[in-house]
Amino acid sequence: MSKPLVIAIDGPSGSGKSTTSRGVAARLGLAYLDTGALYRAVTVAFLDAGIDPTDAAGVIATVEGAELEISTDPDDQWVRVNGRDVTTEIRAQRTSANASAVSTLPECRANLVARQRALIAAATNGIVAEGRDITTVVAPDADVRLLLTADPEIRMARRKADLGGAIDAAALRDQVLRRDADDSKLVNFTTAADGVTHLDCTFLTLAETIDAVIDLAEAARSK
Protein backbone atom coordinates (compact mmCIF):
# COMPACT_ATOMS: atom_id res chain seq x y z
CA MET A 1 0.00 0.00 0.00
CA SER A 2 1.35 3.43 -0.95
CA LYS A 3 1.83 5.89 1.84
CA PRO A 4 -0.87 8.53 2.41
CA LEU A 5 -0.53 11.65 0.27
CA VAL A 6 -0.04 14.81 2.33
CA ILE A 7 -0.59 18.19 0.71
CA ALA A 8 0.37 21.28 2.73
CA ILE A 9 -0.97 24.67 1.66
CA ASP A 10 -0.07 27.98 3.27
CA GLY A 11 -1.07 31.51 2.42
CA PRO A 12 -2.34 34.86 3.67
CA SER A 13 -5.98 35.61 4.48
CA GLY A 14 -8.30 35.58 1.49
CA SER A 15 -5.83 33.85 -0.82
CA GLY A 16 -8.34 31.09 -1.45
CA LYS A 17 -6.48 28.36 0.39
CA SER A 18 -9.56 27.02 2.19
CA THR A 19 -11.80 26.69 -0.85
CA THR A 20 -8.89 25.40 -2.91
CA SER A 21 -7.92 22.85 -0.26
CA ARG A 22 -11.48 21.57 0.13
CA GLY A 23 -11.81 21.25 -3.64
CA VAL A 24 -8.54 19.35 -3.96
CA ALA A 25 -9.42 17.05 -1.07
CA ALA A 26 -12.85 16.27 -2.56
CA ARG A 27 -11.40 15.58 -6.01
CA LEU A 28 -8.64 13.30 -4.72
CA GLY A 29 -10.65 11.57 -2.00
CA LEU A 30 -8.48 12.97 0.80
CA ALA A 31 -9.25 14.35 4.23
CA TYR A 32 -9.14 18.12 4.76
CA LEU A 33 -7.80 20.04 7.74
CA ASP A 34 -8.57 23.72 8.28
CA THR A 35 -5.97 24.54 10.92
CA GLY A 36 -7.26 28.10 11.22
CA ALA A 37 -10.54 26.73 12.57
CA LEU A 38 -8.65 25.35 15.59
CA TYR A 39 -7.14 28.76 16.34
CA ARG A 40 -10.56 30.35 16.01
CA ALA A 41 -12.24 27.70 18.18
CA VAL A 42 -9.92 28.32 21.11
CA THR A 43 -10.40 32.05 20.57
CA VAL A 44 -14.11 31.52 21.16
CA ALA A 45 -13.23 29.52 24.28
CA PHE A 46 -11.10 32.20 25.92
CA LEU A 47 -13.57 34.95 25.03
CA ASP A 48 -16.46 32.93 26.47
CA ALA A 49 -14.43 32.45 29.64
CA GLY A 50 -14.12 36.22 30.01
CA ILE A 51 -10.36 36.22 29.47
CA ASP A 52 -8.94 39.43 28.08
CA PRO A 53 -6.99 38.97 24.81
CA THR A 54 -3.99 40.70 26.41
CA ASP A 55 -3.93 38.14 29.26
CA ALA A 56 -1.31 35.83 27.74
CA ALA A 57 -1.29 33.41 30.67
CA GLY A 58 -5.06 33.08 30.56
CA VAL A 59 -5.10 32.52 26.80
CA ILE A 60 -2.35 29.90 27.02
CA ALA A 61 -4.13 28.06 29.82
CA THR A 62 -7.36 28.03 27.81
CA VAL A 63 -5.64 26.61 24.74
CA GLU A 64 -3.73 23.96 26.65
CA GLY A 65 -6.87 22.83 28.49
CA ALA A 66 -9.26 22.96 25.55
CA GLU A 67 -10.97 19.83 24.28
CA LEU A 68 -10.95 20.23 20.50
CA GLU A 69 -12.79 18.18 17.89
CA ILE A 70 -12.79 18.97 14.18
CA SER A 71 -14.18 17.31 11.08
CA THR A 72 -11.72 16.37 8.35
CA ASP A 73 -14.47 15.61 5.84
CA PRO A 74 -14.23 18.27 3.09
CA ASP A 75 -17.98 18.01 2.51
CA ASP A 76 -19.03 18.25 6.16
CA GLN A 77 -17.09 20.84 8.11
CA TRP A 78 -17.63 21.42 11.83
CA VAL A 79 -15.56 22.19 14.90
CA ARG A 80 -16.30 21.82 18.60
CA VAL A 81 -14.51 23.22 21.62
CA ASN A 82 -15.18 21.76 25.06
CA GLY A 83 -18.13 19.87 23.62
CA ARG A 84 -19.81 22.95 22.10
CA ASP A 85 -20.33 23.35 18.36
CA VAL A 86 -18.74 26.64 17.30
CA THR A 87 -18.75 26.05 13.54
CA THR A 88 -20.67 29.25 12.82
CA GLU A 89 -19.26 31.31 15.66
CA ILE A 90 -15.65 30.94 14.58
CA ARG A 91 -16.45 33.06 11.51
CA ALA A 92 -17.97 35.91 13.52
CA GLN A 93 -16.23 39.28 13.59
CA ARG A 94 -15.62 39.00 17.35
CA THR A 95 -13.63 35.82 16.76
CA SER A 96 -11.72 37.15 13.76
CA ALA A 97 -10.77 40.32 15.61
CA ASN A 98 -9.23 38.39 18.52
CA ALA A 99 -7.74 35.28 16.89
CA SER A 100 -4.26 36.82 16.79
CA ALA A 101 -4.22 36.69 20.60
CA VAL A 102 -3.79 32.94 20.13
CA SER A 103 -1.76 32.77 16.94
CA THR A 104 0.94 35.19 18.12
CA LEU A 105 1.75 33.24 21.30
CA PRO A 106 4.47 30.59 20.76
CA GLU A 107 3.05 28.39 23.53
CA CYS A 108 -0.36 28.32 21.85
CA ARG A 109 1.11 27.62 18.44
CA ALA A 110 3.17 24.72 19.84
CA ASN A 111 0.10 23.18 21.45
CA LEU A 112 -2.02 23.48 18.31
CA VAL A 113 0.78 22.30 16.02
CA ALA A 114 1.00 19.07 18.03
CA ARG A 115 -2.76 18.56 17.62
CA GLN A 116 -2.54 19.27 13.88
CA ARG A 117 0.28 16.76 13.41
CA ALA A 118 -1.80 14.11 15.17
CA LEU A 119 -4.75 14.78 12.87
CA ILE A 120 -2.52 14.55 9.80
CA ALA A 121 -1.00 11.28 11.02
CA ALA A 122 -4.49 9.84 11.58
CA ALA A 123 -5.55 10.47 7.96
CA THR A 124 -4.92 7.00 6.55
CA ASN A 125 -5.88 7.93 2.99
CA GLY A 126 -4.01 11.22 2.98
CA ILE A 127 -4.96 14.81 3.73
CA VAL A 128 -4.88 18.38 2.50
CA ALA A 129 -3.89 20.64 5.40
CA GLU A 130 -3.97 24.41 5.09
CA GLY A 131 -2.98 27.34 7.24
CA ARG A 132 -0.03 29.62 7.85
CA ASP A 133 2.85 27.34 8.89
CA ILE A 134 1.91 23.96 7.42
CA THR A 135 4.67 23.82 4.79
CA THR A 136 7.42 24.86 7.20
CA VAL A 137 6.44 23.73 10.72
CA VAL A 138 3.47 21.38 10.84
CA ALA A 139 4.23 19.18 7.83
CA PRO A 140 7.60 20.15 6.34
CA ASP A 141 7.92 16.65 4.83
CA ALA A 142 4.57 16.82 2.99
CA ASP A 143 4.52 15.38 -0.53
CA VAL A 144 3.26 18.69 -1.91
CA ARG A 145 4.13 21.99 -0.27
CA LEU A 146 2.46 25.06 -1.70
CA LEU A 147 2.28 28.77 -0.90
CA LEU A 148 -0.89 30.28 -2.34
CA THR A 149 -0.96 34.06 -2.68
CA ALA A 150 -3.00 36.76 -4.38
CA ASP A 151 -3.07 40.53 -4.67
CA PRO A 152 -4.30 42.18 -1.40
CA GLU A 153 -7.27 43.87 -3.06
CA ILE A 154 -8.31 40.55 -4.60
CA ARG A 155 -7.93 38.83 -1.24
CA MET A 156 -10.16 41.37 0.48
CA ALA A 157 -12.77 41.04 -2.26
CA ARG A 158 -12.75 37.26 -1.91
CA ARG A 159 -13.08 37.43 1.86
CA LYS A 160 -15.99 39.85 1.52
CA ALA A 161 -17.69 37.46 -0.90
CA ASP A 162 -17.11 34.55 1.50
CA LEU A 163 -18.93 36.55 4.18
CA GLY A 164 -21.82 37.39 1.88
CA GLY A 165 -20.82 41.04 1.83
CA ALA A 166 -21.90 41.45 5.45
CA ILE A 167 -18.81 43.34 6.63
CA ASP A 168 -17.73 46.96 6.52
CA ALA A 169 -14.50 48.15 4.93
CA ALA A 170 -12.65 48.69 8.22
CA ALA A 171 -13.53 45.25 9.59
CA LEU A 172 -12.61 43.64 6.28
CA ARG A 173 -9.20 45.29 6.25
CA ASP A 174 -8.72 44.22 9.87
CA GLN A 175 -9.58 40.60 9.09
CA VAL A 176 -7.32 40.35 6.07
CA LEU A 177 -4.40 42.77 6.41
CA ARG A 178 -4.06 43.43 10.15
CA ARG A 179 -4.25 39.74 11.05
CA ASP A 180 -1.65 38.93 8.39
CA ALA A 181 0.67 41.55 9.86
CA ASP A 182 0.18 40.18 13.39
CA ASP A 183 0.68 36.53 12.43
CA SER A 184 3.73 37.28 10.29
CA LYS A 185 5.62 38.21 13.45
CA LEU A 186 5.98 34.48 14.17
CA VAL A 187 5.40 32.78 10.82
CA ASN A 188 6.48 33.63 7.28
CA PHE A 189 3.55 32.89 4.98
CA THR A 190 4.26 35.47 2.30
CA THR A 191 7.49 34.04 0.89
CA ALA A 192 7.90 30.43 -0.22
CA ALA A 193 10.50 28.50 1.77
CA ASP A 194 12.98 26.20 0.05
CA GLY A 195 11.15 23.37 -1.67
CA VAL A 196 7.77 25.13 -1.50
CA THR A 197 5.97 25.92 -4.76
CA HIS A 198 4.63 29.46 -5.03
CA LEU A 199 1.31 29.82 -6.84
CA ASP A 200 -0.10 33.32 -7.37
CA CYS A 201 -3.81 32.86 -8.04
CA THR A 202 -4.69 36.54 -8.51
CA PHE A 203 -5.79 35.92 -12.09
CA LEU A 204 -6.80 32.26 -11.75
CA THR A 205 -10.30 30.94 -11.28
CA LEU A 206 -10.97 28.55 -8.42
CA ALA A 207 -11.17 25.65 -10.87
CA GLU A 208 -7.82 26.60 -12.41
CA THR A 209 -6.21 26.86 -8.97
CA ILE A 210 -7.54 23.44 -7.94
CA ASP A 211 -6.30 21.94 -11.21
CA ALA A 212 -2.82 23.40 -10.61
CA VAL A 213 -2.61 21.83 -7.15
CA ILE A 214 -3.85 18.49 -8.44
CA ASP A 215 -1.17 18.57 -11.14
CA LEU A 216 1.43 18.98 -8.38
CA ALA A 217 -0.16 16.10 -6.43
CA GLU A 218 -0.16 13.78 -9.43
CA ALA A 219 3.48 14.62 -10.11
CA ALA A 220 4.33 13.80 -6.49
CA ARG A 221 2.46 10.50 -6.68
CA SER A 222 4.32 9.46 -9.81
CA LYS A 223 7.73 9.83 -8.21
73-94 mean pLDDT = 95
Positive or negative, the CA dihedral 133, 134, 138, 142 is: negative
pLDDT on residue 154: 82
pLDDT on residue 44: 97
pLDDT digits (tens, 9 = 90+) for 147-195: 999 888 888 877 777 766 667 777 777 666 676 766 666 676 778 889 9
In the chain, DSSP assigns E strands to 5-10, 31-34, 68-70, 79-81, 84-85, 126-131, 144-149, 197-200
pLDDT digits (tens, 9 = 90+) for 12-66: 888 889 999 999 999 999 999 999 999 999 999 999 999 999 999 999 999 999 9
Please give the class, per CATH, of domain 5-221. alpha beta
DSSP secondary structure, 194-210, as one string:
TTPEEEE-TT--HHHHH
Q: Is 127 helix (H, G, I), strand (E, B) or coil?
A: strand
pLDDT on residue 166: 66
pLDDT digits (tens, 9 = 90+) for 101-147: 999 999 999 999 999 999 999 999 999 999 999 999 999 999 999 99
Tell me how far apart the alpha carbons of residues 154 and 14 are, in angstroms, rounded to a whole number.
8
Tell me how far apart the alpha carbons of residues 198 and 10 are, in angstroms, rounded to a whole number.
10
pLDDT on residue 1: 46
Q: Is residue 132 left, alpha or beta, with left meaning phi > 0 and alpha meaning psi from -120 to 50?
A: alpha
DSSP secondary structure, 73-94, as one string:
BTTB--EEETTEE-TTGGGSHH
Strand partners, 161: none
Q: Which of 64, 33, 25 is nearest to 46 (CA)?
A: 64
**178 touches 99 (CB < 8 A):** no
